[in-house]
Chain A
């Protein structure tokens, strides 16, 4: 495996972690809004 391929794989992992964290924040926000509306 070349350096380029290794870095490409690492980039894939980093992008996934970034997207997952963003989705987590959006989910927390959405649930907070739902719970606030229910009050």
Chain B
């Protein structure tokens, strides 16, 4: 019998499980899981918990696969930015080939298993999202257009729609409004970050809006998208999935979001530098809370409905 162990030379920097997990962008995955779960639970259809769990796992693995493909393609950019320099590939803990194998392998597994566990529509949406994010956005759009974040945001916005289709097998206005909320939330969220990380994006040659169009134009876009976000978010109030918790949360959180966006819009670059981009950092931080609150309130309303209180 051949000694297989002799064919493998252990590398000193062999990746641990944690490194492979980091490759799947766990923070993005947690957002995907949460929003897909909300879409699934808010849908007016009964879903067995085991089927729901298995489907959610597929959606999470699909998101992780997209993240691995993104890191595989962008390892050159990641190595040039302080924020991403310690990621598994630029730090040398995972090779590009390993990342590609994980990305492609998990993509296929997640899509096929979602078709088996849930339905073909959900699997097609997941496959389309992986192709859109891992292929179109990562490999083509991101390095060519200052609108990269706007268009690429569609990939991050689709999980609640997939969650909804897992439960119902169809698409309706409610998941489309949830899609619109995340889609319109993405630009002000990332542009707030890009405003104070402009130099890093310039050095990495990523054409983010503040790099290409300048801070002033970006600040205008931030307020425009924040207003559009408020409109789409408040539109969901008039659908069946929204209740008192969502209505209250949407009114208050959109008011805060628009106020913070307004403070970002009003300042010029000199003031922002003098104040160490305090307003931009506040908007970025609140945008994370905003999304969590908006989707958590939909879960609260669903719980209230289930308890027969509304």
Contact = CB atoms under 8 A, between A and B. Distances in A.
B308 interface: no
Interface string B1-22: 0000000001110111100000
Given A1-B12, A6-B10, A31 B117 contact: yes
A31 B50 contact: yes
A25 B87 CA distance: 31
Interface residues of A, number: 15
Report the contact-size class of chain B (Cβ under 8 Å from the partner): 10 to 19
A34 B17 contact: no
A30 B57 CA distance: 14
Interface in B177-220: none
Q: Secondary structure of the A side of the interface? A: helix
B12 A6 contact: yes
Contact of A3 (B10, B48, B54): B10
Interface in B33-57: 48, 50-51, 54, 57
Contacts of B54: 27, 30-31
Interface in A1-37: 1, 3, 6-7, 9-10, 12-13, 16, 27, 30-31, 34-35
Contacts of B10: 3, 6-7, 10
Interface of A: 1, 3, 6-7, 9-10, 12-13, 16, 27, 30-31, 34-35, 38
Nearest first, the 4 closest Cβ-Cβ pairs linking A and B are A6-B10, A1-B12, A16-B17, A34-B48
